[in-house]
């Protein structure tokens, strides 16, 4: 008659490791068996997080679809109030940053620490540039009172802009009431996207610091890889936002 189940016949010693000796490199956390397992888990985790992000933004896209369908004229005029050149510039900037983020992963895989830093810095600079452009767009809209919902209160200059925008849109004349709904959606969508860009900047600065400390090697570049994944999603969302908001006929 035994007194304990098999697995519970614990060696009473203070050794925290199970089968001491076989545990791998320093970066391998205690609960993983192999670096590959650790890498795969992190990558899967990031993909799941990205799925979550897509659904988070999906609500906004549904709201966009509903209201564009309800108020096509307002969306047309609202879109013409946005400067497509600014949007296009930001699109190019983000695409470039996505490319450099991917290159950062590549050079980190090759163990090229210096090159990784360079690419990361370019990525961060691009992200900043994006936010600067966004800042000019936002501050102008706020300045002329083109704001969402009951905050809608255009100045004389703002009204001129609205009239000009209406003239270039298919609406021609008149001032669709629901432009304010368009700007509600515009500010929320681009605002949330902007917050994601800011988070991305923070993440890449952190990654850059770690890279300069030499934490990443040919065998261990997980953090660079999954941060770039996140950044591609932020880029991808903008790829949808740009035409949907700036390029309505």
Partner 1 sequence: MAGEHTDLNYLNHERGIKSWLLTLDHKRIGIMYLVSVMIAFALGGVMALLVRTELAFKGETMMEADTYNQVFTLHGAIMVFLFIIPSVPAALGNFFLPIMLGAKDVAFPKLNLASYYIYVLGTIFTIVAILVGHVDTGWTFYTPYSARADSSVVWMTMGVFILGFSSILTGVNFVATVHKMRAPGLVWTRLPLFIWGIYATAVIQVLATPVLAITLFLLAMEKVLTIGIFDPQLGGDPVLFQHFFWFYSHPAVYIMILPGMAVVNELIATFSQRKIFGYMFVAMSSVALALLGFLVWGHHMFTSGMSEYATMVFSALTFLVAIPSGVKVFNWVATLYQGSISLASPMLYALGFIALFTIGGLTGLFLGTLSVDIHLHDTYFVVAHFHYVMVGGTVFGFLGGIHYWWPKMTGRMYNETTARWAFALVFTGFNVTFFSQFVMGSQGMPRRYYDYLDQFQPLHMTSSGGAYILGVGFLVMTVMFIQSLRSGAQAPANPWASAGYEWQTTSPPHPHNFAVDPEMTRGPYDYHLCTDEELFDGLRAPEEPAAEHAA
| Closest to 237 (Cα-Cα) out of 115, 77, 61 | 61
Please state the φ and ψ torsions of residue 9, each to the nearest 5 degrees. -75, 75
Q: Tokens 């004349």 sit at which residue? A: 173
CA-based Rg of the chain, rounded to a whole angstrom? 25
**By CB under 8 A, residue 21 contacts partner 1:** no
Q: How far is the CB of 182 from partner 1 (least distance, A)?
A: 9
**By CB under 8 A, residue 193 contacts partner 1:** no
- Which one of 150, 156, 173, 214 is in contact with partner 1 (CB under 8 A)? 150
**By CB under 8 A, residue 56 contacts partner 1:** yes
**By CB under 8 A, residue 215 contacts partner 1:** no
**By CB under 8 A, residue 83 contacts partner 1:** no
> Residue 103 CB: number of other CB atoms within 10 A?
18
Q: How far is the CB of 218 from partner 1 (least distance, A)?
A: 22
- Which one of 20, 21, 52, 214 is in contact with partner 1 (CB under 8 A)? 52
Q: How far is the CB of 6 from partner 1 (least distance, A)?
A: 6
**By CB under 8 A, residue 177 contacts partner 1:** yes
**By CB under 8 A, residue 151 contacts partner 1:** yes
**Do residues 139 and 227 lie in contact, with contact meaning Cβ atoms separated by under 8 Å?**
no
Q: How many CA atoms lie within 13 A of 119 on its CB side?
A: 21
CA 148, CA 180: separation in Å to the nearest integer? 5
Q: How far is the CB of 131 from partner 1 (least distance, A)?
A: 20
- Which one of 80, 180, 193, 196 is in contact with partner 1 (CB under 8 A)? 180
In this structure, what token pair is assigned to residue 92? 């190019």
CA 190, CA 184: separation in Å to the nearest integer? 10
**By CB under 8 A, residue 136 contacts partner 1:** no
């Amino acid at each position: 008659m035994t007194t304990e189940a098999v697995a519970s016949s614990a060696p009473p010693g203070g050794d925290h490791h199970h089968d001491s000796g076989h545990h791998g490199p320093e970066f391998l956390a205690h609960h993983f068996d192999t670096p590959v397992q650790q890498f795969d888990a992190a990558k899967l985790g990031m993909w799941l997080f990205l799925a979550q992000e897509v659904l988070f933004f999906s609500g906004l896209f549904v709201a966009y679809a509903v209201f564009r369908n309800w108020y096509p004229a307002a969306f047309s005029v609202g879109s013409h109030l946005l400067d497509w050149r600014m949007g296009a510039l930001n699109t190019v900037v983000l695409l470039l940053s996505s490319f450099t983020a991917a290159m950062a992963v590549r050079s980190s895989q090759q163990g090229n620490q210096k090159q990784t830093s360079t690419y990361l810095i370019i990525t961060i600079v691009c992200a900043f540039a994006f936010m600067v452009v966004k800042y000019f767009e936002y501050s102008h809209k706020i300045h002329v009172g083109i704001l969402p919902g009951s905050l809608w209160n255009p100045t004389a200059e703002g009204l001129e802009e609205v009239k000009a925008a209406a003239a270039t849109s298919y609406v021609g004349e008149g001032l669709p009431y629901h432009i304010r709904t368009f700007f509600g959606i515009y500010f929320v969508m681009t605002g949330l996207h902007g917050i994601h860009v800011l988070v991305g900047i923070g993440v890449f600065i952190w990654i850059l610091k770690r890279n300069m400390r030499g934490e990443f090697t040919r065998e261990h570049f997980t953090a660079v890889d999954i941060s770039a994944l996140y950044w591609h999603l932020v880029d991808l969302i903008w790829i949808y936002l740009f035409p949907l908001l700036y390029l309505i006929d």
